Chain A
Amino acid sequence: MSLAEITNEQVVFSERLMKRIDELKSHFPDDRKKSALITVLHEAQDEHNNWLSVPVMDKVAEVLGIKPIEVYEVVTFYSMYNQKPVGKYMFEFCRTSCCATRGAEDMMEYTCKKLGVEMNEVTADGLFQVKGTECLGACGYAPMLQLGDYYHEFLTPAKMDQLIEDCKAGKVELLSKV
């Protein structure tokens, strides 16, 4: 898809998302609705295959009544927003000190080898991606990874194999419920 095609795409937010956005906006004073931006972007990303295209960002700007640039500058600052398409099951391994000392690097190498990909690469079927990330606050439960809204901790090669199988079978929940 060319950039022009991507940017001309018409984005429609679902009724559920619009309702959720209204709820989030209600948490802030009338002249401060922009405060909902970071939370709203998470919700929008969840509804659009876990990444934020320019039209999706523009739509967020529209519903919050702010300028598109105010959305872009936030999206480019925070590491949880994906600006490109990602694998459906994105394994984000914590690789900071505490996890590294308890085998995070070995787990990342194992997973890449198992899936036949390099770091950050998406598998040909679009299902998997392996990424390294910085401290996720699970230091005592290492090695671990984040998948969607959830953490998978105390990983071993056997647990990793099982997780991959469960993903393939569609048995893994990605999003937590409101």
Chain B
Amino acid sequence: MGKKILLEHVNVPGIQGYDVYRQMGGYRSVEKALKMAPNDIVEEVKKSGLRGRGGAGFPTGMKWSFIDKKSGRPRHLVCNADESEPGTFKDRYLMEKIPHLLVEGMITSSIALEAHLSYIYIRGEYMWVFRILEKAIKEAYAKGWLGKNIQGSGYDLDLYVTCGAGAYICGEETALIESLEGKRGNPRIKPPFPAVVGLYGNPTVVNNVETIMDIPWIVNNGGEEFAKIGIGKSTGTKLISASGHIKNPGVYEIELSISVEEFVMSDEYCGGMYSDRPLKACVPGGSSVPILPAELLFKTAKGEQRMMTYESMSDGGFATGSMIGSGGFIVYDDTTCVVRNTWNFARFYHHESCGQCSPCREGTGWMEKILYRLENGYGTSEDIDVLWDIQRKIEGNTICPLGDAAAWPVAAAIRHFRHEFEYHVRYPEKIKDRKHFEYEPWEKVKHLMAKESVLV
């Protein structure tokens, strides 16, 4: 069993409520933080090597040190609980099971940033979790952990939870801030970064739920202890939400030092393939990251064992690697059609594009239409090249990373599975039924592609 930082007490009966949480050592990090100099807390987080758990993996301590403390403007901490990346459902699990850990993390982190008004922004669909957090916050106020003069320290902090209403884009930090201000979730142009001009024009830090929930442990045990777990610059533990064709879908806390093979095959985690069918591909870090074919999942292109770390997962760049991203680990068996799955993702990004930048607004729609055409047997071999061209022209040409996130899955699918796209063009009658690969997996039909093309 690996070390548990976040889920250690998750199965303790009553841990959702204040009393049990407190008995299990809850809110100790607040007591400690109130006696520390705020910048010492930031230093401790830097030492821990903690990287943002929302997907980008930016060092948290460094992000905190960018916050403008000189201007004297009020500062804010905002928790990004807008979890919407397909494949990712870890934050919901954390908030549902141990809401007070988030409240504690928000208080301790606000102390470090010297913020006196902080918010948790949760996606609107998690309405019942919103209620759980509201209740936890009320309990924390009643017990003197929030409000004026926290535990007699002279430090004031107000914390509230607010929600979105169904927009993936609000997971992007500047769109989230816009939405928190009661507006459409259109991302802002950076710079200025939120650390300087954020919520209400004030210096703001936006952190993922899991990132904030790691803070109490780091403050209690020291950054160095956290950094002892994991490999290299991948320190601590990480929650992985596993889904798709595996025996045990669910949320797992792993040390950032186990191998991908162990994660997929061991009974402690995914438990191997559902229905014992062969593994075909995996999207290891949420829908935005490149899909990996089976042969590149357990081993890198260099033949080394691939590990569940930021570095190993991206070994080989986008040519033969991927990213650990948000930890949304989606496994596909041989019944999956990569073209259909890519169309599914393209539809998602088209639906979620905010519409500000034309490459993304138009490009995501074009990609969806072309992929739909290919998947339904109306595609041409030219379509595959057009698709490649569109994704290339979206990437890097938009205000926010949604454009990249829409482009990468399409690029990776063509890069690794081009033959399947070509099969859809050449044998339209064989892919008319959406379950075509359930009846005849790719391995059974790929010999057809060896025949000379009738199209030439």
Contact = CB atoms under 8 A, between A and B. Distances in A.
Interface of A: 27-29, 32, 34-39, 41-42, 66, 70, 73-74, 77-81, 95-98, 100-102, 105, 133-142, 146, 149-150, 176-178
Given A42-B127, A176-B127, A105 B434 contact: yes
Interface stretch (B16-24, B52-60, B177-185): B177-185
B31 interface: no
A77 B184 contact: yes
Contacts of A101: 244-245, 330, 332, 336, 341
B131 interface: yes
Given A101-B244, A140-B242, A78 B127 contact: no
Interface of B is mostly: mixed
24 contacts: A28-B160, A32-B200, A35-B182, A38-B163, A77-B185, A78-B124, A78-B166, A78-B167, A79-B165, A79-B166, A80-B125, A81-B166, A97-B348, A101-B332, A101-B336, A135-B84, A135-B86, A136-B125, A138-B89, A139-B86, A139-B88, A139-B241, A149-B128, A150-B128
Nearest to B123: A137
B243 interface: yes
Contacts, number: 150
9 nearest A-B residue pairs (beta carbon): A140-B249, A78-B165, A37-B182, A80-B166, A139-B243, A79-B166, A34-B182, A27-B160, A149-B127
Interface in B129-174: 130-131, 134, 158, 160, 162-168
B133 to A, nearest CB: 12
Contacts of B123: 137
Given A134-B348, A138-B89, A176 B131 contact: yes
B255 interface: no
Given A97-B287, A176-B131, A178-B131, A137 B165 contact: no
B337 to A, nearest CB: 10
Contacts of A81: 165-166
Contacts of A73: 183-184
Contacts of A139: 86-89, 241, 243-244, 249, 328, 330
Given A78-B165, A141-B249, A42 B184 contact: no
Contact of B163 (A28, A42, A135): A42
